[in-house]
Structures are given as structure tokens and as C-alpha cells.
Structure 1
Amino acid sequence: MRTVMLVIATLVGIGLIAGGSVLVAINRNGPAVLDTVDRIAGKERGVTLAHRASLGPDARQKLLVYRAAPGEGPQPVFVFVHGGSWANGDPDDYGFIARNIAPEGYVVVLGGYRLGESGRYPAMLEDTASVLAWVNQNIGEFGGDPQRIVIAGHSAGAYNVAQVALEERWLVEAGVVAEGAVKGVVGLAGPYDFYPYDSDSTRATFGTVGAGAESQPVNHAKGEAPPFLLVHGEDDTLVKPRNTRALAAALEARGARVDTLYLPGKTHNDPLLALANPWRRDPRVFDTVKAFLKDTTALSVPVQAGKP
């Protein structure tokens, strides 16, 4: 009996060490490792890459379209924009987003944008708006509904989607013609209120081009904004939770809908991890996102004449 217990204890220890090593690897080179872990840990989900598009001369100006089995009629669209301090990141490393969201009944688009010196403000906003313009004009070919789009992002990507949703000039200039097509915005651990610039990455991306308070999502909050879901780890030291609290307060003050989820003991990458296997076993983030998507993209059923 003692030998059996020793073996079990050893296996548990190895598992914990392996799990810790995976988390360390994710923190160092997160998305690519996370994508591999999700592919191994998740069941076969029937999600395929349906299309790849280039949106500009920079290799990072691209998007990927994923879908699962076609539904009855056009499916709502989930557009995800990666993080990486506006200096790193590649949509090709975020297949786990598609593998977990598409089977819920969505066409998933992973959007990229210019990074580093060529991606300084407002390039990241122009490129994110270009992704939405492409979706608005082309997603019907891949079973998506251009009138039911939710945009989401993590960290720097959360900034991108929040800003283009709130400061309407970016979508107008990109040629997004379907008014009201963006039905919701999901921000994971996003920076929304960081002026004066408070880090090397924000000073490099915004300060070097003279951007000011106009670059902050919190300063564009409005009552007619699409519904927002903002998720943040309470122990996030990279992008402090006060960013989410500030944007949520500004939206609420103007009468917009904003849902928040604060995660005690969680740090910057935890909201992203929660959208992949095996971390989906803690359902708080995934179930909250899923419920928000279902609510904001639900088709309204017209009332027939003569019926209540």
C-alpha cells in the first residue's frame, strides 16, 4: 500500500512540475505554447481554417477566418485581436481562440496589425478597423453574418477593439458601412486609461508620436456604445485593474451597458488562459464570455401581424 501511495505521489508531483513548466513557458512565449497545449488537451472540435487574407504590405496586416460545421443561416462573427504591448504577437498563434469559440456557433476571425515602430499610434487602430471593414464586406462568403459582429482582444488588443468601437472615426475611415454591425466588445486585461504614459511600451507606441488624451478609450465613452464585457485579474501588475474600473465607470455614467468580471488572485494572462484547454475547466471566464456573446448576437424575432 505504501508503494502504491508513493507511486501516486510521485506521479502527482511530476504532473505539478510539468504544469508549472507549461505556465512558465506560456508566460515567456505565451500564445504559441498555449496554442499547442490547447490543441493537445482539447477534444477534436472540427474547426478549420477557411481563409487567410492580407490587408496591407506589412506581413502583420492579415486575418484568418475559422469556422466549424455550418449552421442554419449566417452565424454571428467573433473577431479577436491579439496582445503583445503593440510590439509582439501573431494571429497564427491564437488558433485556440477559434477552436474554443467557433463550436459555440460563431465564425471566428483572428486579426493582426502592424507592430513596433511601424505600428505606432494610430497604425494599430487603422489596421484593426481594416479587419472589421474586411469582415463587414466579405464574411458572408464564409457563413458569417456581417450585421452581428462581436470584437474582442487581450491586453493591447483589448485597447485596439475598445478604441475603434468608441471613437467612430476609425470605422468610418476604414469604410465600415453597416451601422450598428458591432453588437458587443469583449476586453480582457486591457489598458484603457494610461495617459500620461506610464510604461516603456506606451511611451514608445504613443508618446513618440505626440499622441495625447484623445488616444484613451476612457475619454470616448458614450451612451450609444455597443455593450461591453470587461474582464480583469485583480492581481494584474502589467495592466492594472484600475483601467477596467475607469472605463466601466465612464460607460456606466453615460448610460451604456457594461458587464465586468474581476478575478481574485489572477494576473495578466489568466483571462486569456481561461479561453483555452485545460484552463477552461474553471468556467468563470469562458461561461461569462459565452453568455455575453449569445445575448448580444441573438436574432430578434419579428412579431407577426395579429399576434401579441
Structure 2
Amino acid sequence: MAQLAPGERRRFNSEPIESVDYHHDLDYVGDGIPSHRLDVITPHERTGALPVYVYFHGGGWTSGDKAALTKYCASQAQAGMVVVNVNYRLAGRFHMQHMMHDAAACLEWVAREIGRFGGDPRRIILGGDSAGGQISALLAASASQPELARHYHLGGTDRGTVIGLVQHCSAVDFSVIFAPRFIMGLGFVRMLLPNRGKGQSLSAAARFLSPIEWVSPDFPPVLVTTSEQDFFYEANHNFADALREHGVEVEWLSYPRSVRNTRHTWQQDYRYPESQEVYRRLQSFVHALA
């Protein structure tokens, strides 16, 4: 498991938010491994059951940890939601099948347990950045795409209570990875497949990795935040267009290349005014749905 560098922990989590309660390192599988831990962050004061925002961190599928997202998640909890900040098994040793099993197991835990923390399991919004956005989008798609659910053996998981999806600079269209001179090579596709895709057509296998391939009118409403500086900008733009073509409600927030603070996954850093605008839009999006 990748460790979070002390400098990164301080950079993202300085001046902790004190108006929320933190429940750290809850084991959502029951096997005791750090990859199967989540945090639940709740407002001090709450009346009635609150919407639940379930967040998957990014890190190129190979690194990252929920700890770096603590301040980001606390910022959303402070605005009146229960936030679940999730770790999952990472590529290298594991592949996408394991990540999707972990994401589904997290949702099963939320369905059983989130009421104890004041959350409403009937009102779940999934979210993530970069690789975590891809995981959350595939999980949302699997609710209405039986072929995708069968591929990842997710048959028993109830994902019908997902009412919205938040995407920050997400890897939602793998066609961009196959484009010439893209910043990521095809090794990223291989490492997400069993046996590194040996004996498979990468382009065919990528269909089950690429959320844009599974867009349908049954998708929940989606908030997309990105910028022209983000190397997944085209992927996010394509994803939003595909959602609109299927009649899915899309909220779009993008910054031009001239805005300095908006490189890939800038949303994690609360100090930027652009991040604060993302938080305002996210909170409005969640409360409008809920």
C-alpha cells in the first residue's frame, strides 16, 4: 500500500475543520487490511437523515490514500452531508476486478451501516477524482448495465440508491489513452487487466474500463469539474457530451488554460479559490438532488 508523504498530508489537511466529527479507519470488508478501510465524516449538528457522499481518491490506480482527501471530504460534510472517504486495493498487485469489488463492498457497507452515522442509504452520491472518478462512474453505470455488472461479478450489489455522480478530472474515456502522444501509455490499460491483458485485445478490454462506453438514459445526474490544463479534459468533455446525448442531466464546470490553479485534480487543494467554487457547486448539486 502506498504511504502518504508527510508533506502531502500537511499540504492538503492543514487547519483541520472542527465543525465535523471524524470516524477513521472503519473496516468495510472485515479482513483487517488497510486497503479496506474508510472514514466517515459527519456534521456536528444534524436534523434527520442526510445525503451520503461516497468518495474514491485518485492516484493513477497505483497510489494515493484517503488521508490526502480528509480536508476535501470534511469541507463537504460541513455543508450538511455524511461523507464516506474510501481506500481500495491498488494496481500493480491488484487489477480492476479487485477495485470494483472493493467499491461494491463499500456500498454494501454504507447500505448496512451509514444510518448509525446519520446518513440516508437511499440517497447516495458517488464521487471521485482521476482514477477514483473512473471507479465511481463504472460503479454507477453497473446499476443499469447488466453486462458490465456481470463482467465484474457485481450481481448481488444494490446500486439503485445512487442518485448522483461527481467527477473531478476523471479518467472516463479510455479512447484518449489510445491517442498518439497522450501523457499516459498503454501500460496503464494493461495493468488494470488480469495477467496484464496477456492474450487479450487491449482496445476490446478497454471497453469494460471506460465509463463512456456504458452511458445510458438511466445514468444519474452528473456534476463534471475539469479544466483545459487537465490532461483528461478531452475525456471529460466527451463524457459530458455523451451523457447529454442520452438525456442525462449534466452540470459542467471547467476553467480555461489561463487559470493557473487548475492542473489535474486541483480540487483536492482547498486553498485555491477555484476549489472553493467547485465545493459550492458540489454542495448545491448534492442538496438539489437530495
TM-score (norm 1): 0.77
The match for 2:189 is 202
CA-based RMSD of the aligned residues comes to 2.6
**Cα distance 1:226–1:33, how it changes in 2: closer, same or farther (>3 A)?**
farther
Given candidates 57, 64, 68, the residue that maps to 2:39 is 64
- Amino acid corresponding to residue 186 of structure 1 in structure 2: V
Given candidates 23, 44, 47, the residue that maps to 1:49 is 23
User: Would you say 1:163 and 2:138 are equivalent positions?
Assistant: yes
2:265 and 2:158 map into 1 onto residues whose CA distance is 34
The match for 2:181 is none
The match for 1:269 is 265
- Deviation, structure 1 residue 183: 1.2
Q: Which has the higher helix share?
A: 1
> Which whole-Å deviations, capped at 9, do the CAs of 1:16-64 have from their partners, x for residues lacking one?
xxxxxxxxxxxxx988645423543455333322661242644312212
> Which whole-Å deviations, capped at 9, do the CAs of 1:38-93 have from their partners, x for residues lacking one?
54345533332266124264431221212121411111111110001110112233
For these two proteins, the number of residue pairs brought into alignment is: 263
2:15 and 2:243 map into 1 onto residues whose CA distance is 38
**Cα distance 1:91–1:283, how it changes in 2: closer, same or farther (>3 A)?**
closer
| Superposition map of 1:95-244 within 5 A | 95-168=70-143, 169=146, 170=149, 173=154, 175-177=156-158, 179=160, 181-195=161-175, 197-198=177-178, 199=185, 200-206=187-193, 208-209=196-197, 210=200, 211-237=205-231, 240-244=232-236
- Deviation, structure 1 residue 178: 6.5
- Deviation, structure 1 residue 252: 0.8
2:120 and 2:206 map into 1 onto residues whose CA distance is 36
2:208 and 2:247 map into 1 onto residues whose CA distance is 21
What secondary structure does 1:116 align onto?
coil
**Cα distance 1:50–1:236, how it changes in 2: closer, same or farther (>3 A)?**
closer
**Cα distance 1:51–1:142, how it changes in 2: closer, same or farther (>3 A)?**
farther
8 Å Cα contact 2:59/2:131 also seen in 1: yes
> Which whole-Å deviations, capped at 9, do the CAs of 1:166-219 have from their partners, x for residues lacking one?
12254982633363x111100100011114854232332248234231321111
- Deviation, structure 1 residue 290: 1.4
2:6 and 2:279 map into 1 onto residues whose CA distance is 20
8 Å Cα contact 1:280/1:286 also seen in 2: no
**Cα distance 1:109–1:234, how it changes in 2: closer, same or farther (>3 A)?**
same
Larger CA deviation: 46-55 vs 247-256: 46-55
Identity value in percent: 25
Larger CA deviation: 198-207 vs 167-176: 167-176
The match for 2:276 is 283
TM-score (norm 2): 0.81
Q: Which runs of 5+ in 1 are unaligned?
A: 1-28, 298-308
User: Would you say 1:76 and 2:51 are equivalent positions?
Assistant: yes
8 Å Cα contact 2:20/2:41 also seen in 1: no
Larger CA deviation: 109-118 vs 198-207: 198-207
